[in-house]
Structure 1
Amino acid sequence: MDMNIDQIPEQALSWHRAGKGAALATVIETWGSAPRRTGSQLAINGQGDIIGSVSGGCVEGAVIVEAIEAIEQGDARELEFGISDGDAFAVGLACGGTIRILLEPVGKVLPEQMLADLVSARTARQPIAYEVDLDAGTRALHTSGFSERFRMDRSGFEEGTRRFIAIHNPPLRMIVVGAVHIAQALAPMAQMAGYDPVIVDPRETFATEARFPGQRVLTDWPADAVKEFALDTRSALVLLTHDPKLDDPALEIALRSEAFYIGALGSTRTHAKRTARLTEAGFTEQDIARIHGPVGLNIGASSPSEIAVSIIAQITQVLRKGAA
């Protein structure tokens, strides 16, 4: 199974255009201890190749069989699977659950142009919602009107209806300013949590491939890099240098952006000085309150790795529950 699950709609479109046939399977409802969240997707082509996942592996085989038939017959299907406790244990779950899956062949049910427009929006980092009315059989794309769903990254049925909304948010990004020891632990953790991390530090002694193997490292000035990245609602900024000449210019740009998370390393005393500088620069108390400083949840972290854990935990909390 290809684990580059961020490219599922893109791969489905590519398979369809290559004449291989394609279908998208989407988790539209779950009960109990379901292995994948609502909105999770699996793409299947006519030869049975797949990308993505709708379970921990326990129902994919049945979905593939149904998908190949749906591609040939050109019909949409709703599939429901109950996962027994025994099967759940086999795929690493504590107990069973039930999932309902919508299967849509590309071209015959899901229009090719609509999928292409969805892919184009994703490429442009434009949040987009795919709506399907399961009773009427209609489909539409929306770039507005579902602000809470976009913020919470939450697909699902509109209450009291059979209108399913699949949220396609841009991939998560994390810009880490400061190629320090904490960043060495934070970057791989961020990748595992689904972020595309970038480390920025103009100090070339710190920002090296040897210290950050396999990571994207830039030696730009932080303000230049942050400005170029155009922080949006799917971007997190973590400042780890606690050097005002590196952190402050980047921080000022971030406070004028839509970044969902801004965190800055430093003690309470350091943050108080930071607050005073930002106030003098014209930022309001509400602006400055967006900064998580000292960065990370207060879990008593001591080592660089533990601090990295606290930062990832806090970013996850803000992403899923909103800022405290």
Structure 2
Amino acid sequence: MQSLDLDVLERALEWKTSGKRVWLVTVAQTFGASPRPPGSLLAIREDGILVGSVSGGCIEDDLVSRRNEYTGRKPAFASYGITAEEARRFGLPCGGQLEVIIEADVAPADIRALLDRILAGRIVARSVDLASGAWSFADAQPTDECVRGESRFTSVHGPRWRMLIIGASEIAVYLAQIAETLDFSVSVCDPREEYRGAWRVEGTHWVAGMPDDAVLAFRPDGHSIILTVSHDPKLDDMALLEALKSEAFYVGAVGSKQTSAERRKRLADFDLSAGQIARLRGPVGLTIGSRTPPEIAVAILADLVAARNNIALERVVASDKRRSA
């Protein structure tokens, strides 16, 4: 599995190299509520087949029906939701406005160059000259945003968020698989040789050494996630001692309430402040009654996505209250 936008670029390149016409559509800017953020991609093949999304399905049909209006190397722009009537027609959220840039003749070499940079784990700024349609590339930061200028449009591609998983357990397998679809660059550390030999998720980065060294080498920042799922307190605690002192955005550990309470007591015996220990999310994940590894991974990632989007979730009420409601 992989992120939607990476899939768009790979399919667009496949279609172009097979001789098909392809239109590449990118969200340039949004105003008010919008289903997809700036930089989101859509590719339309000459027969109307498409991959990706720029509006969650609201305007894609219109873009497909009008695709032949856009020709040549010079990019074009289209706006949707400018009026209340148009917003209702295209199903855009109330008050939402959306502008897309449409490129009808992107060179396969440009798409390949962008893909190579993304697959190498780099965050890339793709700049499009609005007069000629020429692409240029530069390194970008996780906090960089799309810029719609008078002569140039710049979008940011690549893994803006990084995840380090401690422990190559079955939970880790599903975490890694799903996290990659959510645009995380995933690294895994487990010094146990038998777990490393059984690891089966392609596209992840394996970090050698012990968990505390792995955290330090990872250099956590405000766009970093550290999750401990080894079920071995020695390994998990080693990582948490460094993770909780770092700038990591989200630090979580798998375990029951009792296990989590015991873990916090152990951590208090080391050089961690109460505030640092309070950063630990444990038991990590939403309370959804998860039992199997994939369910636990979904619970963790749902909570993580909410935190990344700055959403305060309402916790599940007790089951007896739900039955009496």
TM-score of the two chains, using structure 1 as the length reference: 0.64
Shift of 1:130: 1.0
Please point out which of 255, 260, 275 is paired with 1:267: 260
Question: Aligned residue for 1:11?
Answer: 11
Shift of 1:128: 0.5
CA distance in structure 2 between the aligned counterparts of 1:241 and 1:167, rounded to whole angstroms: 34
Identity %: 29
Which digits, 9 at most, give the CA deviation of each residue in 1:228-260, with x for residues without a partner? 9x8587663311456432313445786899965
Please point out which of 103, 115, 122 is paired with 2:118: 122
Indicate conservation of the 8 Å contact 1:296/1:314, yes or no: no
Indicate conservation of the 8 Å contact 1:154/1:167, yes or no: yes
Question: Aligned residue for 2:22?
Answer: 22
Q: Residues 296 and 44 from structure 1, CA distance in 2 versus in 1: closer, same or farther, beyond 3 angstroms?
A: farther
CA distance in structure 2 between the aligned counterparts of 1:222 and 1:304, rounded to whole angstroms: 31
Q: Residues 81 and 241 from structure 1, CA distance in 2 versus in 1: closer, same or farther, beyond 3 angstroms?
A: same
Which digits, 9 at most, give the CA deviation of each residue in 1:56-87, with x for residues without a partner? 3232122224434435x444211112243254
Indicate conservation of the 8 Å contact 1:35/1:55, yes or no: yes
Which digits, 9 at most, give the CA deviation of each residue in 1:258-285, with x for residues without a partner? 96543234535522522544x4xxxx87
CA distance in structure 1 between the aligned counterparts of 2:127 and 2:183, rounded to whole angstroms: 24
Q: Which amino acid aligns with 1:117?
A: A
Q: Residues 304 and 188 from structure 1, CA distance in 2 versus in 1: closer, same or farther, beyond 3 angstroms?
A: farther
CA RMSD of aligned residues (A): 5.0
Q: Which amino acid aligns with 2:88?
A: D
CA distance in structure 1 between the aligned counterparts of 2:61 and 2:104, rounded to whole angstroms: 17
Which digits, 9 at most, give the CA deviation of each residue in 1:77-130, with x for residues without a partner? 111122432542xxxx653632111011344xxx44333221111110111111
Indicate conservation of the 8 Å contact 1:296/1:307, yes or no: no
Please point out which of 140, 148, 167 is paired with 1:157: 148
Q: Which amino acid aligns with 2:148?
A: F
Gaps of 5+ in 2: 311-325
Gaps of 5+ in 1: none
Which digits, 9 at most, give the CA deviation of each residue in 1:8-64, with x for residues without a partner? 122222222222122210011222333222111101223322110112323212222
What SS does the corresponding residue of 2:159 show, helix, strand or coil?
Answer: coil
CA distance in structure 2 between the aligned counterparts of 1:85 and 1:249, rounded to whole angstroms: 54
Q: Residues 87 and 157 from structure 1, CA distance in 2 versus in 1: closer, same or farther, beyond 3 angstroms?
A: closer
Superposed, which structure 2 residues align to 1:139-178 within 5 Å? 139-144=135-140, 147=141, 150-151=142-143, 154-157=145-148, 163-170=152-159, 174=163, 176-177=165-166
Q: Residues 290 and 312 from structure 1, CA distance in 2 versus in 1: closer, same or farther, beyond 3 angstroms?
A: farther
Question: Aligned residue for 1:102?
Answer: 101
CA distance in structure 2 between the aligned counterparts of 1:290 and 1:156, rounded to whole angstroms: 39
Superposed, which structure 2 residues align to 1:161-310 within 5 Å? 163-170=152-159, 174=163, 176-177=165-166, 223=210, 231=218, 236-240=225-229, 243-251=232-240, 261-265=250-254, 267=260, 270-274=263-267, 276-277=269-270, 279=271, 289=276, 292-295=279-282, 301=287, 303-304=289-290
Q: Residues 106 and 237 from structure 1, CA distance in 2 versus in 1: closer, same or farther, beyond 3 angstroms?
A: farther
